[in-house]
Amino acid sequence: MNLLLFIITIVVSFFAIRIGAIAFQLTGLEWSLAKFQSLSCFSGTGFTTKEAELITGNPQRRRIASFLMVLGNAGLVTLMATFANTLRPSYLPKITIPFIHLVFPSFILPYMNLLIVIISIYTLYRVFTHARFTKKLSNFLKKRIIKTELVKPVSFEELLVTTGGYGISSFEVEKHSPIVNTSLRKADLRKHDIIVLAVERDQGKETIPNPPAETKILLDDRLICFGKLDNIKNILQLLPQEAQINTTTITRSK
């Protein structure tokens, strides 16, 4: 029973970290950073000063981090307790294969359970790091989180603000965006003082630095832009009813 509880706790931990990463991403964090922050909060290892400011400076992220820390502490205690009980020789005959203690000496049984634990952890790691599985799981969890309104998603994140209102911003292309399924040449963002520095695709797994003019912007792409922050917000972050404009000549809506 302790061995089964140990494995279940590991599975729940994987899910908690994944949900936390998706929640962080919905608040505007880049995917790789969101995964790291989720793992850091859950494991209680902490993060650097700069990254800590990204969490503590945002109410939604603080709430997510708090939940992850509480779950992580509870999960760690459960893992330690169940793992210790799993390796108790006096308890092993009751929780392993029936009559196995008649075949193998009792002093070997802890090592057998340890082997089962190692194999289980490795198997779960391979499953939860499989690209196709994690992509489908992430999409499913993301939809559920948005539907239940556990986290209010944002599509615009200011990464750096410089003088004169200019800065580097991260923007996720949504279905109502005026530039979705449009090439950079056709969108002609430069005339609005917006330069696309990079395009992140497939949750950050593919990056197109300094994208050519013929690069087509797809749904869920994340654009790293430099320019007037007000222009980026007003032109690219449009409400659905505001997005009914010609993508060839994107005009600023006031």
Distance of CA 135 to the CA centre of its chain: 11
| Beta-bridge partners for 12 | none
Instruction: Annotate 145-197 with DSSP letters as a single string.
Output: HHHHTSS---SEEEEEE-GGGEEEEEEEPPTT-TTTTEEHHHHTGGGGTEEEE
How many helices and strands in the chain, by DSSP H and E? 10, 7
Residues 151-199 pLDDT 10s: 766 655 555 555 567 778 777 888 878 888 989 999 888 888 889 999 9
Strands 194-201 and 206-209: antiparallel
Nearest of 14, 254, 202 to residue 124 by alpha carbon: 14
SS3 228: strand
Q: How far apart are CA 47 and CA 204, in angstroms?
A: 21
CB within 8 A of 97, min separation 6: which ones?
Answer: none
Residues 80-127 pLDDT 10s: 777 777 666 554 444 445 555 556 566 676 777 778 778 888 888 888
| Edge-first strand listing for the sheet containing 156-161 | 156-161, 166-172, 222-228, 194-201, 206-209
**Class of CATH domain 156-242:** alpha beta
Residues 41-82 pLDDT 10s: 888 776 555 666 667 767 788 888 888 888 888 888 887 777
Residues 116-138 pLDDT 10s: 778 888 888 888 888 888 888 88
Distance of CA 49 to the CA centre of its chain: 20
Kindly report whether the global pTM for this prediction surpasses the value 0.85: no
Provide the pLDDT for residue 99.
54
3-state secondary structure 200-227: EECCCCEEEECCCCCCEECCCCEEEEEE
Q: Tokens for 142? A: 């993301």
Confidence of residue 252 (pLDDT cuts 50, 70, 90): very low
* 36 in Cβ contact with 150 (< 8 Å): no
Q: How far apart are CA 210 and CA 232, in angstroms?
A: 18
Angular region, 44: left φ>0, alpha ψ -120 to 50, beta rest: left
